Amino acid sequence: MSVQKSKEILADLIAFETVSADSNLDMIGYLTQRLEALGARCIETRDETGKKANVFATLGPDMPGGILLSGHTDVVPVADQDWTSDPFQVTERDGKLYGRGTCDMKGFIAAALAFGETLDASKLTQPLHFAFTYDEEVGCLGAQTLVNDLSERGIVPDIAIIGEPTEMRVIEGHKGCFEYTTRFTGLEGHSSAPDDGVNAAEYAARYIGKLLELRHILKSRAPTDGRFEPPWTTVNIGQISGGVAHNVIASKAEVAWEMRPVQASDADLVKSTLADYVEHSLLPAMQAVHSESSITQKAVAEVEGLEPMEENAARDLVAELTGANGTGVVAFATEAGLFQKLGVHAIVCGPGSIAQAHKADEFLEIEQLDLCCRMLNRLGRRLMG
């Protein structure tokens, strides 16, 4: 596989303006067409609107296991960013490919497609899967749909390589990202008679107090061999809103918060503790005054972390393919944890640097794309026996 072929495909991919707020169907159609031309068996899953889709494709024998190459098709917006070239047209200069999504992460998708076109599917000794998803940037929504679909179909690859930009370093772990909006509805009234109302802002404050208690507890639960920085699960209060005036009892309040678990048990602790606190303390007190008071919660995103495992066939394979002497962990979240939860050995490794992602003049160094192509070529030799 040549870098030139990957560059040509990348130019096509960047031209699809797949900002998360918009449809990705045109790009999915392009990917599906190229994959079917290789003889791949393709499965498409869509969101509730029908305007977003994943494609899961398989080359080679129809048998369990296999290796999965995975990437997301959506990109972040370019609005209010000062680009020096058209963000939806690849511009090459000084050994770099500029364009929205070049490193995050259409460069890997282009390399994966170019790699697939070099293979003789009839000679593959195990399945080679491709998964291209929607809405990773807004909560890994597409991957959650895809993983559920694969589980129902009984499709569980042995190994998944998620090609997020890591500068081709082998990343075996990252924290999860769980984001929530908790809404409180009470009873408004005049501030001179606080006992006659239910102050939603006050109950939101008590809820925040419990979150801060949990933050302290989570620090004490940090794994002794933790490699993250910081090594414990964090909690952040991102936004507080509610009320209308100084002298009015607030009937509504809202808290936007998140946690970034280093281990699944921490997320379970936070959720169960809060649910118990709401059910047995906050809500009874609110409803004792006004029976229609409520506390509701919306999960904006629940992105599973990728937990470093003692045994990880994906880590071992990619380390061999890249010649890496060690592995690392990162702070940013990916879809890898969702595949790990499915029972797949997962790793994150792809071309480009996260430092260039989401910025104006996002770029991918051609040298990085070349390193990715070399890794995939070595993988091809293994798959062909």
The Cα 367–Cα 359 span in angstroms is 20
What are the C-alpha distances in Å from 242 to residues 67, 237, 239, 274? 49, 15, 10, 20
Is the peptide bond preceding residue 384 cis, with omega within 30 degrees of 0? no
Query: Active-site residue among 135, 136, 202, 362?
Result: 136
The distance from CA 362 to its chain's CA centroid, rounded to whole angstroms, is 19
Query: Active-site residue among 74, 158, 172, 179?
Result: 74
136 part of the active site: yes
Q: 25-37 and 3-15 are packed helices; what angle lies between their axes, rounded to 10 degrees?
A: 150
Q: Which helix (H) or strand (E) holds 207?
A: helix 200-220
The Cα 175–Cα 348 span in angstroms is 13
Radius of gyration over every alpha carbon of the chain, rounded to an integer in angstroms = 24
74 part of the active site: yes
Q: How many helices (H) and strands (E) does the chain have?
A: 10, 15
User: Which residues are catalytic, by number?
Assistant: 74, 136
